[in-house]
Amino acid sequence: MTSAAVILFGPPGSGKGTQAKLLAGSLGIPHISTGDILREHVAAGDELGRQVQAIMRAGKLAPDELVNQIVEARISRPDCAAGFILDGYPRTLPQALLLEGLLERRGLPEVVVNLAVDYNIIVARISSRRQCPQCGSVYNLISNPPQSADVCDRDGVRLQAREDDSEAVMRKRFEAYERETLPLVEHFRTSARRFHEVNGSQRAPEELVRRICGLIQQE
């Protein structure tokens, strides 16, 4: 694959994080998750973390200015020179426009992948999702369980359910996604150098990543 910024879209809980980690291993470029970065601040209990925790509990999205600063700083690091995978960014049109400007100045074309998943399927998945608080690995107790119940395969730490994974919070996040982020799919459908839409409802993670990786590597 030539150097590119891979942008993953899809509703909250659609599997973007899992796919991004698998793709990063296959393509050899960094996975950048704005959600993971923000949750790291929450775990640290710093000022930014306290602000973000209140936003998450309300089921809202972090403000553009805050997220833009985090992303711009991260993609400026040397390991992103040959490309990277963005998971959870951009979520609004102002974020998308800022990102397009950053990529144009760096000469990195975007490859956009949209995961299409039914909301009801997502809600069913959410009640089974667990995350390792130490390494960030994400599991699903039904479709992608750990080898030992409730314990991370990598470091043996007990898995946790995230506070923002309740059904009530998820429904609010769907509403915010439809209002602020879904229009970006159509924006990138016409503006991106390459745009791919993939049905992510039924395929296993490993099968889905092979499909997405094949699309990304096409020229």
CA distances from 211 to 6, 30, 121, 152, 169 (A): 14, 19, 20, 27, 31
Q: Which residues of 73-96 are buried (b: 16+ CB within 10 A; e: fewer)?
A: ebbeeeebeebbbbbbbbbbeebb
Residue 145: count other Cβ atoms within 10 Å of its Cβ: 15
Whether 188 and 112 have beta carbons less than 8 Å apart is answered as: yes
- 211 as an active site residue: the answer is no
Q: Which residue has the tokens 């910024």?
A: 5
* Active-site residue identified among 74, 91, 125, 130: 91
Question: Which one of 16, 21, 39, 125 is the catalytic residue?
Answer: 16
Q: Which candidate, 217, 211, 168, 204, places its Cα nearest to that of 57? A: 168
Catalytic residue among 39, 74, 130, 173: 173
Instruction: Confirm whether 173 is a catalytic residue.
Output: yes
Spot the catalytic one: 39, 125, 129, 130. Answer: 129
- Residues 20-35 as b/e (b if ≥16 CB within 10 A, e otherwise) read bbbbbeebebbbbbbb
- 3-state SS, residue 54: helix
Say whether 162 is catalytic: yes
16 is catalytic: yes
Distances (CA, A) of 128 to 54, 61, 155: 24, 23, 20
d(CA 108, CA 122): 32
Residue 129 annotated as catalytic: yes
Out of 162, 194, 210, 211, the active site residue is 162
Three-state SS at 38: helix
User: Which residues are the active-site residues?
Assistant: 16, 91, 129, 162, 173
